[in-house]
Structures are given as C-alpha cells and as structure tokens.
A = this chain, B = another copy of it.
Amino acid sequence: MLNFELKNPTKIIFGKGQIANLAKELPQDAKILLLYGGGSIKTNGIYEQVKTALDGFDVVEFGGIPANPEYEVLLEALKVIKEQHITYLLAVGGGSVIDGTKFLSAAALYEGGSPWEILTKSIKTEKGMPFGTVLTLPATASEMNSGAVITRAETQEKFSMGGPGLFPVFSILDPQVVASIPQRQLANGVTDAFTHVLEQYMTYPAGGLLQDRFAESIMQTLVEVAPKVIAEPTNYEAAANFMWSCTMALNGLIQKGVPGDWAVHMMGHELTALFGIDHARTLAIVAPSHYRFNFEAKKEKLAQYGKRVWGITGDNIDEIANEAIVKTEAFFHSLEIKTTLSEYTEDYKGTAEKIAGRFTERGWLGLGEHKSLTPANVQQIIEMSY
C-alpha cells in the first residue's frame, strides 16, 4: 500500500426531502449566486424546491451552463459574481454545473492575472469562494471531491483543475431526482461511475486489499442496480444505491494508497472535445482497448475483477482476464452504450494520430499508472477503439 493523505470535509445530506433543509446550510447574510444548466430543473420541480428553501435569502441566478462547462460561459458568470458582490455559490445540477461552479469558486478569489491561468498553469486552489451543491444527476462525484474539468470551445480542449479549497461545503443528494432523469443520462451516469472505479482499480496489484474490495463493492452495486434504475427510475432503493455509488466512486476514498491509471479519461476527453460525444460514452469506447493493449500489466487485476465482480470461475488467469473485458463491454451494451468510435461518427479516420499529436504537443509523454504510455501507444489504443 502506498502512503497517502485523506481529508474530505464536504458535508453530505442524503435522502428523501433533504432539499427542504437547504437553508440551514447557508450563512444568513450570504449573497448567493444560484447556478444551473439548461433549465431541466425548471420542469422537474427541483427549481421550485430550491427556490422555496431559499426564501428570505438574497439570491441572483445564472442559468445556461452547458454540458462540458465552457470557459466562455463561465466568464459571464464570473462577471455577475464581481458586479453583484456575490459571497456564496450554489450549484443546482450535475457534474457540469458543479464543475463550472468550482472554476468560479477558484476564479472569484484568484489573485493572479487572467483566470485562464488557473487551467493552463495547473494552479491548485487553496481557498475558493464557499459553495454548496444540490445534485440532480448522479455520475461524476463532483459533489464530494475537489476536482473539475473545464472546456474551452474555441480550441476544442478540456482542462482539469482542483485543489483542497474546492470541496463543496455541503452537497444535498436526494435520490428522488433520479425519477426525472432521461434514460440516456442514467446510462451515462452508470457508465461514468463504473469507469471511475476502473481507473482507480485496474492497475498493477498494489497491496491495497481493502481499497480493492471497496472498488469491487461499488462496481457490484452498480451492476446490481443499473437494470432497475433504467427500467424503473422511480424505484427509490435502486436510485439511492445508484446515487451513493456514484459519489463513492470518485470522492477520493478508493484511490488512497493505490496507484491510479486515468489514461482512459485522458483519451476520452479528446473524443468529447473533437466530436462532442458524451463523456461517459467516450470512456466506454476507450476502456476495453486500453485493457487489451495493456493486458500483460493489468491481467492479474483484470482476473481478480472478473472473479469477484462478474463471478467468472476457472484457473487460467489470461482467460478470466479476457472474459472480464468482454463482460465489461457487455455491461455497457446492456445500457445501450456503444463501445466503438465508428458507431458514433463516420469521421473517425485520423483521430488516433490527431490525439497522439496533441499529447506530444502538450508534453503528455507518459500516461497510466507507470507514466509509461507514450503518444505512440495512445495512437494504437485509439485505433483499436475505431
């Protein structure tokens, strides 16, 4: 097991009807910027619940934060924060709205030059403007971690950012929101959370026996509840386990003391930037090829996963590991998630070279848990994903 530090101060308020308790978490004298996305919260009743809970507070609104939160749109919100002397941010949405809010939390107190530096210079934010979240879409765990991914549409690029000052002060998770989420986004949420776990688990064995079992627990639970969530989103028990699994998949716990891979995300982000493919779906495209390409390094873990998560029996490590990849693809297919790039775009030729070229340009010369995956390897993996 590797040495680690863990500190996660976010207060989680989980369960039925918890949005009504929002006011208790906010300072009485806060000047609040309420941030949300495309407006679905206005049709599913969540906006009303939030507004009712905010009765008596000084609230300004900023809607229209898009999926893959765009820098340009966020700059508009930043202007509102400065002009209106906002002191507290409240994100009501999924990962995109929360990630955008994290950027704003950092940018609002940033004392350097352009806020663009936060992204390009990988500035770690030690102190941001305080913010809370009301989660409307389980998937990214942004509600309980300190990281965010921001897109710049102009240059088709995605940047990661974060820092210990960017944990939400609180996050309200009411599983009842799942009932109004479109099927496509539910499937994305399951796939996203499942792949988050894989990124932290499917490495060389590192002696994190408890971490491995926790990771397997999350994947087992997702496999168990996914069909119910998709078929019957009003099933509270399934929704609650789905929601909590998504949060635990990337709130930092299972990554402590073990190596992380994250190459699948690095490659997947490029497919979103280039083709606008949903984040979760890009992961499902890349992951199987990544595991096949890195089979020798990962086969012990693949076999452990195959046995424990998929119940594959037998003694031949290679066979079990291969079967585990096939089962993973089948799981994505069961969610109606396609796993090859050519099923999403006819324009896929040259993509592998292009992405490898971008990685070379950025100096991303070694990805994965050993930082050994070269741009040439990346090219091969993307080609295998066509």
Contacts and interface: CB of A to CB of B under 8 A. Distances in A.
A256 B144 CA distance: 15
B209 A213 contact: no
Interface residues of A, number: 42
Interface string A121-147: 000000000000000000000000000
A216 B218 CA distance: 12
A322 interface: no
Contact of A6 (B7, B11, B236, B256): B11
Contact of A213 (B6, B217, B256): B217
Given A221-B209, A221-B213, A7 B10 contact: yes
Nearest to A169: B7
For this chain, the copies found in one complex come to 2
B210 A217 contact: yes
A241 B6 contact: no
B14 A241 contact: no
A349 to B, nearest CB: 42
A360 interface: no
Interface string A348-385: 00000000000000000000000000000000000000
A225 B207 CA distance: 11
A209 B241 contact: yes
A238 B244 CA distance: 29
Interface string A238-270: 001100110010000100110000000000000
A237 B14 CA distance: 35
Give the residue among A11, A14, A213, A214 with the most B Cβ atoms within 10 A: A213
Interface of A: 1-18, 175, 207-210, 213-214, 216-218, 220-221, 224-225, 236-237, 240-241, 244-245, 248, 253, 256-257
8 contacts: A4-B14, A6-B11, A8-B8, A9-B9, A14-B257, A207-B237, A210-B241, A240-B257
